[in-house]
């Protein structure tokens, strides 16, 4: 049923799935027998995002009568309301995916920046990644329920901010000249005498 609605983009409103023609509800009947449930009315509408793409379907089962609580068919006007709700849900899902995609893009940018910093000197290669990893290990240890810092509790947002800050810590080295960054030992007298 869901695949049919996703492919045809037409909502389907069935008063009783046991009496419906044109669809195979053998799986539904088998589920009903094993679970002791009875699928009856079903309303399936496509989820369209802001670009009118179908990104899923919303399936409602067994509308109930307000008075007696018995199962009834979904009213036609209810179909329009559910279609509007499905569109809003599709837009919300699309927005959530955009936020995840932006976060992934930002993380990729940060890591590429760190790679560029690491490429400036073979002596400090991997420093940014090791610093970020160590920062998160320390943060998780502080965040644990044991020890001197047991009262400190980082939120997921705070941990994410700390992770980003650790990755961005050496971003200024991108514009720093190679002879300053490229140090096999501590500061060298030739260029760094103060």
Q: How many helices (H) and strands (E) does the chain have?
A: 7, 5
Binned at pLDDT 50, 70 and 90, residue 129 comes out as confident
pLDDT > 70? residue 100: yes
Please state, in angstroms and rounded to a whole number, the distance separating the CA atoms of residues 192 and 100. Answer: 44
Cα(97)–Cα(146) distance, rounded to whole angstroms? 36
- Dist CA 180 CA 121 (whole Å): 10
pLDDT for residue 187: 57
**How high is the pLDDT of residue 185?**
60
Q: Distance from CA of residue 133 to its chain's centroid?
A: 23
Mention every residue, 6+ apart, whose C-beta is less than 8 A from residue 194. Answer: none
User: What is the rounded CA–CA span in Å between residue 127 and residue 184?
Assistant: 13
The predicted pLDDT at position 68 comes to 76
Question: Nearest Cα to 57, choosing from 93, 104, 106, 95?
Answer: 93
Predicted confidence (pLDDT) per residue in 8-66, tens digit: 999 999 999 998 888 888 888 899 999 999 999 999 999 998 888 899 999 999 999 88
Query: Which sequence spans correspond to the domains of the chain?
Result: 2-95, 120-192
Section 100-105 average pLDDT: 95
CATH 3.30.450.40 fits 2-95, yes or no: yes
- Could you tell me which residue, 171 or 89, shows the higher pLDDT? 89
């Amino acid at each position: 049923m869901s695949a049919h609605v996703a492919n045809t983009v037409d909502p389907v409103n069935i008063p009783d799935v046991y009496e419906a023609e044109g669809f195979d509800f053998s799986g539904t009947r088998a589920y009903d027998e094993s679970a002791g449930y009875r699928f009856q009315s079903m309303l399936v509408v496509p989820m369209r995002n802001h670009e009118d793409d179908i990104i899923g379907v919303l399936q409602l089962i067994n509308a109930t009568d307000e008075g007696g609580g018995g199962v009834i068919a979904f009213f036609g006007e209810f179909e329009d309301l559910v279609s509007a709700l499905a569109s809003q849900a599709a837009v919300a899902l699309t927005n959530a995916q955009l936020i995840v995609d932006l976060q992934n893009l930002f993380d990729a940018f940060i890591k590429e920046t760190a790679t560029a910093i690491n490429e400036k000197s073979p002596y400090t290669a991997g420093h940014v990644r090791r610093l970020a990893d160590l920062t998160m290990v320390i943060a998780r240890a502080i965040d644990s329920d044991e020890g001197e810092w047991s009262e400190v509790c980082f939120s997921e947002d705070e941990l994410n901010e700390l992770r980003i800050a650790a990755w961005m810590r050496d971003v200024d080295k991108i514009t720093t000249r190679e002879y300053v960054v490229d140090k096999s030992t501590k500061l060298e007298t030739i260029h760094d005498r103060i």
